[in-house]
Amino acid sequence: MLEGIDLAAILLTLKLAVTTTLILLLVGTPIAWWLARTRSRWKGVVGALVALPLVLPPTVLGFYLLVSLGPHGPIGQFTQWLGIGLLPFTFAGLVVGSVFYSLPFVVQPLQNAFTASGERPLEVAATLGAGPWDRFFTVALPLARPGFITAAILGFAHTVGEFGVVLMIGGNIPERTRVVSVAIYDHVEALEYAEAHLLAGGMLVFSFLVLLALYSRNARPWT
């Protein structure tokens, strides 16, 4: 019953979520670290920018991405100059969109984790002679481990649940940009309810299990 195309959509969705989560952990960690420790007056601005995807409709993000990644947009002209070509309708384009879209779901748990562990362990490490990089990698990171797990799970799950941005910049190409949420939408529109049920039910169970794992592991998912 699971046609080849739907199976491809599931694999593609997982690939997108894994790629996005890895990139977000790399990009989000320094942002979260800075937000947790800075006293700069820019903290509020950066914090608000990071949180924007929480409140913006995906159509806003999708629209701006389509325009800026397109041939006349600044990013589109840059990627063409680099010789990569244009990002809309490609897997790389979806990754770029997802990184923006899921950014707060990774940065905020990390920021909370860094804030919660406080200055004290770092000061102690410093008095014992640890340099700044040493303190970050051997003290701050291990202390923030639960935050990293939460961030990874939320970033992954939120990317799996993405729809609006992908619909606007994906172009619905099998095996390249047709993720599960778009495949479900397609089935529903075409009144293929049996196929839609299968995928939608699968999503429901999957999302529940992910959140169950998260909430059972940690009573306070945001730390």
Partner 1 sequence: MLQKLKSTLLSLLTLSGACCAGQALADEVQVAVASNFSAPMERIAADFARDTGHRALLSFGATGKLYAQIKNGAPFGVFLAADAKTPARLVTEGDAVADSSFTYAFGHLVLWSAQEGTVHDQGAVLKTGDFGHLAIANPKTAPYGAAAVEVLTKMDLLERLQPRFVTGENIGQAHQFVASGNAALGFVALSQVVVDGQLTGGSAWMVPTNLYRPIQQDAVILQQAADNPAALALADYLKGAAARGIMLTYGYSFAEGAGLCLRGSTLQPSC
Distance from C-alpha of 97 to C-alpha of 80, rounded to nearest angstrom: 18
Distance from C-alpha of 145 to C-alpha of 139, rounded to nearest angstrom: 10
Q: Which is nearer to partner 1, 114 or 195 (CB)?
A: 195
- Our finding on whether 194 is near partner 1 (CB under 8 A) is no
- Our finding on whether 172 is near partner 1 (CB under 8 A) is yes
Determine contact, residues 151/185, Cβ cutoff 8 Å: no
Locate 128 and state its tokens. 């014992």
Locate 177 and state its tokens. 């940009």
Closest by alpha carbon to 178, among 4, 1, 57, 53? 4
Determine contact, residues 211/157, Cβ cutoff 8 Å: yes
- Our finding on whether 9 is near partner 1 (CB under 8 A) is no
Determine contact, residues 154/105, Cβ cutoff 8 Å: yes
Interaction pattern, residues 88-127, with partner 1; x per rule: CB under 8 A: xx--------------------------------------
Q: Which is nearer to partner 1, 93 or 146 (CB)?
A: 93
Interaction pattern, residues 60-79, with partner 1; x per rule: CB under 8 A: ------xx-xxxx-------
Determine contact, residues 98/16, Cβ cutoff 8 Å: yes
Q: Which is nearer to partner 1, 119 or 192 (CB)?
A: 192
Specify the stretch interacting with partner 1 by CB under 8 A; choose among 34-42, 80-88, 107-115, 137-145: 80-88
In angstroms, what is the minimal distance from the CB of 167 to partner 1? 7
- Our finding on whether 140 is near partner 1 (CB under 8 A) is no
3-state DSSP assignment of residue 14: helix
- Our finding on whether 186 is near partner 1 (CB under 8 A) is yes
Note the residues at the interface with partner 1 (CB under 8 A).
Answer: 66-67, 69-72, 85-86, 88-89, 167, 171-173, 185-186, 188-191
